[in-house]
Structure 1
Amino acid sequence: MIKIRCQDNYMKDNKNYGLFTTISMIIGIVIGSGIIFKTGNVLKATNGNVFLGVLVFVFASLAIIFGSLTLSQLALRSNEHGGIISYTKESYGKSASGVLGWFISLVYFPTITAVLSWVSSVYLLMFLGISASLEFQILVAIGLLISLSLLNIISAKASGFFQNFATIVKIIPLLLIALIGFFSKSNEVLTVQNNFTSGLNANVLMFLTAIGPISFIFDGWTVSTTISGEIKNPKKTLPIALAISPILILLIYILYFVGVTKVMDVNEIIGLGNDYIYVAFSRLLGDFGSKVLLFILVISMLGTTNGLVLGFSRTLNHLSHEDLIFLSKKIKSPLNKLPIKAIIYSGFMTMFWLFIHYITMKFKLLNHSDVSEISIATLYLLLIFLYVKVMSLAKAGEIKGFFKGYAFPILAIIGSLIMFSGSLQNKYFLIYFGFSLLILLISYFYLKNKAKTEK
C-alpha cells in the first residue's frame, strides 16, 4: 500500500523541490559538523593566525563558488536530469559519463554517506547518554540509514521538508556564536582576544597545511545537480541555487570562524581540540549548552546524510536508465516515479562501505583518517574536465561574456587544484588516489568491452 500511494503521489507532481529547498540541499550537505571540528585544525595549521585562516577559507571556496558558477552554465544548457553525469555525457560522450558515474556511485556517494551515518549515530548516542561500543554504533548507523531511506521512499516532499529543517537548525548556532563574538567586548565575561592580525609571519607551508582540514568541509555541493529532474523549473532554479549557495556558505563559515575566536582565545581553542565547542556552548548557555549542541549536531548530520541518500539514489537511477552500470534492469525505475529500487540498492552499497569503515576503525588501519576521504581529491580533478568544456563553449561562441566563459572556469580550476594540493597532506593520499584510479580504469575497460559486445 505504501508503495502504491508513494508512486501515485509522485506521478501527480514529481517537481518536489523549489529554489529554497535546492539552496537548503546545497547548504545542508556542505555545512555539517566539519566547520565546528576543523576550526581548531585550521588555527593550529596557521599557528593561531586568524587572518591567514580566513584567507584559507576564501581560497578554498574558489572551488565551490566558481565551480558552481561554471557548472550553472552547463545546467542552463542541459536537457537531461543526471547532474554532473549528464553534463559529462553531453560534453564528452556516454562512455565518459559512465566512468564518472561508476566512480561516484561505487566510491564517492557510499563512502561519504557511510561515514556520516556512523558520525550521526555517535552524536545520537552521546545525546541520549549511552556509552556504546563501535559495533553498537555501526548498528545504530544502519538503523539511521534505513530510516532516512524509508523517509525518501514514503515521501520526497517530506524528505525535502526535513532537509530545510535540518539546514535551519545547523545554521542558527553558527550565526549565534558569530554574532556574540562580533558584538562582545573585552571586559565582558567571555574571554575575548582579537587575534585577527596576529602571526603575520605565517608562510606558504602553513597555508597549504590548512587547506587539508578545510577541503572536506566544502565538499558535497555537486550533489544538488542530481535532483535536477525533480526541481521546479530546473533551468532557472538550479543555476540560481548554484550561484547563491556557495557565497552564503563562505559567509557563514567566515562569520563563525572569526566569531568563535572572539568568544574564546585562539590558544584555548587549539589546546582544547574538538572539546572547544562544548566549552563555548557551556559559557553561552550554561550546563544545558552541551545537550543543545549535541541535539544540533545530530540534526545537522542527519540532514547532510539525508541529502546524500537523496542524491545517491537519483544518480543510481539515472545510470541504470543509461545502462551504464551492472544490474541496471533491476535498479531502474521510471523517471516519472520515485526511484524506490535505487534507494534500496544505494542503501545496501552504503552498508557495504559501513562494514569497510568498521574494519578500518576496529583495527586502526587509517589512523586520523577514514574511507570518506578516498574520493574527494579525485572528484575535484575530474570536475576540471567540465570546466574546460565551458571554456570551449565560450570559444565556440555558445557562452557569451568573458567572466562566464573564461574567468569563472579558470578560477574554478585553480580552486580544484588548491583542494587537490590540500589532499596531498594526507599520508594515505597515494593509497586513496591509487584506489580511485583503479575504479576509473576498471569502469573504462568494462564499458569499452560492453560497447564491443553490443555491436
Structure 2
Amino acid sequence: MADHNLENNLRKDLGLVSALSLVVGMVLGAGAFMKPPSVLEVTGDYNYALLAWIIGGAISICGGLTLCELGVMFPKTGGMLVYLEKIYGTKISHLYGWMMTVIFAPSLVGALVGYFSSVFCLLFSIDDAYRMAVSAGVLGFIAFINAIGIREAGYLQMIATVCKLIPILLLAIFGLCEGNGQVALFTASGQGIESYAPFAVAILATLFAYDGWAQVASVAGEINNPSKVLPKAIIFGIIFLVVVYACINIALFKIFPVQEMVSLGHDASSVASQRMFGHFGGNLVAVGIMVSILGGINGYIMTLSRTIFSMAERGTIIGARYLSTIDDDSRSPVNAIIVLVIFSFLYSTLLDADRLSEISMFSIWVFYLLTFIGVMVARRKYPDVHRPYKVIGYPIIPIIAMLGAAYVIYGMLVYQTINGMVSIVLTLIGLPIYYYYYGKNKNRELSLGEMKKYKIKRMVTIAVSTIIIIGLFVAYGFFVSN
C-alpha cells in the first residue's frame, strides 16, 4: 500500500472555500431546471415532491461523507476506479469502467443534450422534428471545443458556471415573491395527481440533480486538512443545494398547478420565467438555462472522455489502441471524445432525456453501493493504512448511504424492470470482454496511449461532419413538417 499512497507527494492547495465551490459547481446544473416536473409527476403531490428532494440530499450527504474516507486513503487520479480496484480487484473496477463507458457516460450526456434541445426548440419556436439537428449541433460544438484543447474547454466551463447562477437566482427569488399562490404546502392542497410509481423513483430523479458530489473525493489528497475540510464541504455544499432546489420547486409550485407543471415537463422553468419577466425577460432566463446545461455537457464530456481514455490505456476494452490515442497538437483524447459524442447522440435519439437520466443514475448507484460497502471492507482489509479522515458517525452514516442506495435501486427494478435489467446485463457483458483481453495481454507488454499527429486536424473533421449531419437533419425536418 505504501507504494500507491501518494498523498504526501500531492500539493495540498484546496481549502474549505475551494472544496465547497467544487461541490456546488459540479452538482448545480440541469437537474435544477429539468427535474422538478418529473419528481412531481412521480409523487403526485407538492409535499411528497419536496420530501423526495430532501431525502435525495440526505442520501447524497451520507454517500459523500462515506466516499471521502476512500478518497484520502487512495489519493490517486481515477477516483472510484481506483477505490474499487483496491478493495475488490481488477474485475469489479473493470466493470465500473465498462459501465461508465457504455452506459453512464453516453446516457448522462445524452440526457443533457435532450434537455438542451427541448429548451432551445421552445425558445426559438422550432418544430420538434428539428431536435436531432439541435442535438447534433450542440454535441459537435462541444466536441470541437474539447478537440482544440483542455484550456478552451475550461474557459467555456468557467463562463457556464457563472451564467448558471443567474437563472437559478431569478427563478428562486422572483418565483417565491411573485408567484400566483398555487402552492399549498403542508396542507391538503387538493391538487394532487394519481401516481403508481414507487417513491424511490422520485428520489432517483432527484439524485440526477445532486450527482457530482462523488468527484470531490477524487481530489481528497490535494485538500489541506481533509479530516476537517471534507465533511464541512460535503455537508454545507449539499445543504446549500437542498435549500436552492427547495426554493426553485416552491417557486414553480407557486406559478403552476400540479397538472400544468407536469404537462409542461422540461419546459416548465422556461415558461415560468416568461410569465414572471415577460417574453423578452423570460427568453433571457431561458438562454441562461441553456448555457447552464451547455456547461454540464461540456464538463461531463471533459471528465468522462478521460475515464474512457483511462479504460483504453488498460487494454481491456474494444478499440483500446484507438481510444487511448492523444492528439499531438491539442494533447486531448480526441478519439475518446468522438466516440462519447457519437454514442451520446445515438442514445438521445433512442430514448427521452428523463429515461436516460434514470438509467444513468441507476447504473452508477449500483457501484456507489459497492463503494459504500467497500469502506467497511477496507477497514478490515487495510487496517494499518493511515486515514487522515474517517467517516463521522461510523458505521451509521455508511449504513444510511447503503440503505438509500439499495432503496433507489429497488425502486428502479420494480418500476422500470426492463431498463434496470438491460443496464445490469450491459454491465455484465464487460466481464467476458475483461477475460478475453486479460488472457490476450497477460504475457506481453502493452504499448498503448500513443501520441499521434494527424494529417487532417481532428477539430476540422468534427466541424465539417457536424455541419453535414445538421444539414441532413434540417432537410429531414423540413420534409416532415411539410
Q: Same fold (TM over 0.5)?
A: yes
Equivalence for 2:239: 247
**Percent identity over paired residues:** 23
- Which whole-Å CA distance do the structure 2 matches of 1:318 and 1:157 have between them? 20
| Partner residue, 1:355 | 346
Question: Aligned AA for 2:92?
Answer: A
| Residue 356 (structure 1) shift | 4.5
Q: Residue 34 of structure 2 contacts residue 266 of structure 2 at CA under 8 Å; is this kept in 1? A: yes
Contact 1:192–1:262 (CA under 8 A) maintained in structure 2: yes
How far the C-alpha of 1:181 sits from its partner, in A, is: 4.6
TM-score by length of 2: 0.74
SS of equivalent residue, structure 1 residue 286: helix
1:85 equivalent in alignment to 2:70: no
TM-score, normalised via structure 1 length: 0.78
For structure 1, the residue ranges without an aligned partner over 5 or more in a row are 1-14
- Quote the Cα distance in structure 2 between the aligned partners of 1:267 and 1:125: 22
Counterpart Cα distance in 2 of 1:92 and 1:337: 38
Give the residue type in structure 1 aligned to 2:172.
Answer: A
Q: Indicate which of 97, 103, 110 corresponds to 1:101.
A: 97
* Rounded Cα–Cα distance in structure 2 between residues aligned with 1:172 and 1:109: 27
**Residue aligning to 1:381:** 366
1:137-286 equivalences under 5 Å are: 137-182=131-176, 184=177, 190-192=179-181, 195-199=184-188, 207-208=199-200, 210-222=202-214, 228=219, 242=234, 244-264=236-256, 269-270=261-262, 276-286=268-278
Moved more, 147-156 or 398-407: 398-407
Deviations 1:368-410 (A, max 9, x none): 9544433421321221121112123445375575625422211
Could you tell me which residue of structure 2 aligns to residue 32 of structure 1?
29
Matched residue, 1:430? 417
Deviation at 1:93, TM superposition (A): 1.7
In the other structure, the counterpart of 1:344 is: 335
Once residues 233 and 248 of structure 1 are traced to their aligned partners in structure 2, the CA distance between those partners, rounded to angstroms, is: 21
* Contact in 1 for aligned 2:107/2:344 (Cα 8 Å): yes
**1:127 alignment partner AA:** L
Specify the alignment match of 2:455 in structure 1.
none
Whole-angstrom distance in 1 between the partners of 2:287 and 2:277: 14
CA distance in 2, matches of 1:267, 1:142: 32
**Residues 204, 349 of structure 1: CA spacing in aligned structure 2 closer, same or farther, 3 A cutoff?**
closer
Residue pair 2:107, 2:357 contacting (<8 A) in 1 also: yes
> In the alignment, which residue of structure 2 is the partner of 1:8?
none
Supply the AA of the counterpart residue of 1:34: G
Q: CA offset at residue 353 of structure 1?
A: 4.2
Give the superposition deviation at 1:108. Answer: 0.8
SS where residue 340 of structure 1 aligns? coil
Change (3 A) 1:434 1:338: farther
Change in 2 beyond 3 A, CA 1:42/1:369: closer
User: Partners of 1:354 and 1:443 in 2: how far apart?
Assistant: 22
Q: Deviations over 1:276-307 (max 9, x none)?
A: 43443233212223312320221121111011
Q: Which residue of 2 aligns with 1:6?
A: none
Superposed displacement of residue 104, structure 1: 0.7
Task: Please report the RMSD computed on the Cα atoms of aligned residues, expressed in angstroms.
Answer: 3.8
Q: For 1:150, what is the secondary structure of its paired residue? A: helix
Q: 1:116 to 1:260 in 2, by over 3 A?
A: closer
Change (3 A) 1:18 1:150: farther
The alpha-carbon deviation at position 48 of structure 1 amounts to: 3.0
Matched position secondary structure for 1:403 = coil
The verdict on how the C-alpha distance between 1:274 and 1:316 changes in structure 2, with shifts beyond 3 A counting, is closer
Instruction: Provide the C-alpha distance between the structure 2 equivalents of 1:296 and 1:114, rounded to a whole number of angstroms.
Output: 20
The match for 2:447 is none
User: Matches of 1:211 and 1:158 in 2, distance apart?
Assistant: 36
Gaps spanning 5+ residues in structure 2: where? Answer: 1-10, 444-482
Q: Tell me the amino acid that sits aligned with residue 392 of structure 1.
A: V
Does 2:40 align with 1:43?
yes
The verdict on how the C-alpha distance between 1:118 and 1:42 changes in structure 2, with shifts beyond 3 A counting, is closer
Partner Cα distance (1:199, 1:144) in 2? 43
* Alignment partner of 1:75 is 2:66: no
Q: Distance in 1 between matches of 2:91 and 2:347?
A: 29
Change in 2 beyond 3 A, CA 1:39/1:114:
closer
Whole-Å separation in 2 of the counterparts to 1:222 and 1:419: 17
Decide which of 298, 302, 307 is 1:315's aligned counterpart: 307
